[in-house]
């Protein structure tokens, strides 16, 4: 076996070297990569330009592919998200994240703005287990567009004991109303009272189905609500948890190069992205693995 795992000196993440992920993996290499992923939460494969077919084939070696978020929202909430500009030749298992506009239409989501801390698609009952994001075009890091990952195990473990007791067993609503860029999803009405927000009911502390470890599971801040609490108390609790959660010591930053593939465990790692210079092109394709109901 040639695989090398190089953990980053950061809150999470490791780089994998010594394997060509465009080719079918041996069972031994596949198991080693899977173990490294569970141990480090986020893996980077540096500078491996690949096709969508190779990207999907690599992902499939670790489980079943999930559809893009628009499909997941449409399926659970019965709304029409109207993903304008999506190219029909791109398979529905690939999400396109881009600021590129062609024929007057954006070809992907999120534009050039900041994407706030979030877990991918936790507004559906069964969010993806994993996301694998690949860079096809990217601006230099000096123009922005870096992506940050956060270790939700350590965020949970370092909470004060009293806070752990306060949230253990509590359920919150992960609102379906907005993208991680803060843009209202098409098909949902404006929400004045967060206690009535449409979304998935998720445990605030979830136990990883494979590692058995507990992590803080907050989804995204916008329109979130802790079930059973008066709205003011829910807001205060969520602000306290978010204040703790987003400490730099729990994070690792990815400065993109073309051909990078970054694979995170969506069950125990969150991510956010810096805004970037909109005059530069940025194009990412993402696959996801199907998950299980958070518990």
Residues that bind ligand SIN (CB under 6 A): 97, 110, 115, 120, 133, 147, 180, 271, 273, 284
C-beta atoms surrounding 10 within 10 Å: 17
Backbone angles phi, psi at 196, to 5 degrees: -115, 15
Looking at beta carbons only, is 202 or 287 nearer to ligand SIN?
A: 287
β-pairing, 14-17 with 42-45? Answer: parallel
- The nearer residue to ligand SIN, 133 or 261, going by C-beta atoms, is 133
Task: Round to whole Å and give the CA distance between 129 and 116.
Answer: 19
Kindly tell me which of 194 and 284 has the beta carbon lying closer to ligand SIN. 284
Q: Are 67 and 93 in contact (CB under 8 A)?
A: yes
Q: Pick between residue 70 and residue 133 the one whose CB is nearest to ligand SIN.
A: 133
For ligand SIN, give the closer residue by CB, 110 or 204.
Answer: 110
Please work out, in degrees rounded to the nearest 5, the angle formed at the alpha carbon of residue 95 by the alpha carbons of 93 and 99. 160
C-alpha to C-alpha distance for 270 and 219, rounded to whole angstroms: 8
| Cβ 108 to ligand SIN shortest distance, Å | 9
Cβ closest to ligand SIN, residue 237 vs residue 284: 284
Q: Name the minimum Å distance from CB 35 to ligand SIN.
A: 24
**Ramachandran bin of 110, using left for φ above 0, alpha for ψ from -120 to 50, beta for the remaining angles:** left
Minimum separation from the CB atom of position 211 to ligand SIN (A): 22
Q: How far is 266 from 209, CA to CA, in rounded Å?
A: 12
Considering the complex, state which of residue 19 and residue 262 has its C-beta at the smaller distance from ligand SIN.
Answer: 262
State the minimum distance, in angstroms, from the CB of residue 81 to ligand SIN.
16
What is the C-alpha separation between 52 and 277, in angstroms, rounded?
26
Beta bridge partners of 262: 44, 133
d(CA 55, CA 53): 5
Closest distance between ligand SIN and the C-beta of residue 95, in Å? 8
What's the min distance (Å) between Cβ of 177 and ligand SIN? 17
Residue nearest to ligand SIN (CB): 147
| Least distance in angstroms from the C-beta of 52 to ligand SIN | 17
Contact 36, 67 (CB under 8 A): no
């Amino acid at each position: 076996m040639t695989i090398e795992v190089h953990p980053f000196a950061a809150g999470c993440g490791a780089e994998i070297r010594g394997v060509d992920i465009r080719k079918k993996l041996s069972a031994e290499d596949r198991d080693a990569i899977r173990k490294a992923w569970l141990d480090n939460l986020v893996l980077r494969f540096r500078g491996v330009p690949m096709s969508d077919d190779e990207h999907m084939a690599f992902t499939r070696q670790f489980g079943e592919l999930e559809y893009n978020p628009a499909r997941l929202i449409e399926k659970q909430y019965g709304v029409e998200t109207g993903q304008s500009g999506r190219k029909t030749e791109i398979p529905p298992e690939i999400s396109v994240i881009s600021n590129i506009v062609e024929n007057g239409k954006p070809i992907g989501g999120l534009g050039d703005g900041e994407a706030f801390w979030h877990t991918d698609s936790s507004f559906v009952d069964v969010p993806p287990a994993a996301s694998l994001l690949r860079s096809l075009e990217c601006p230099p890091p000096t123009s922005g567009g870096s992506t940050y990952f956060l270790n939700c195990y350590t965020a949970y473990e370092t909470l004060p004991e009293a806070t752990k007791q306060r949230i253990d067993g509590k359920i919150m609503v992960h609102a379906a109303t907005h993208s991680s860029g803060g843009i209202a999803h098409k098909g949902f009405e404006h929400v004045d009272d967060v206690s009535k927000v449409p979304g998935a009911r998720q445990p605030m502390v979830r136990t990883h189905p494979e590692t058995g470890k507990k992590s803080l599971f907050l989804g995204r801040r916008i329109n979130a609500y802790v079930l059973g609490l008066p709205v003011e108390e829910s807001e205060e609790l969520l602000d306290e948890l978010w204040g703790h959660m987003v400490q730099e010591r729990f994070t690792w930053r990815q400065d993109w190069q073309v051909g990078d593939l970054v694979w995170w465990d969506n069950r125990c790692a969150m991510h956010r992205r810096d805004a970037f210079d909109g005059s530069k092109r940025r194009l990412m394709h993402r696959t996801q693995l199907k998950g299980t109901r958070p518990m």
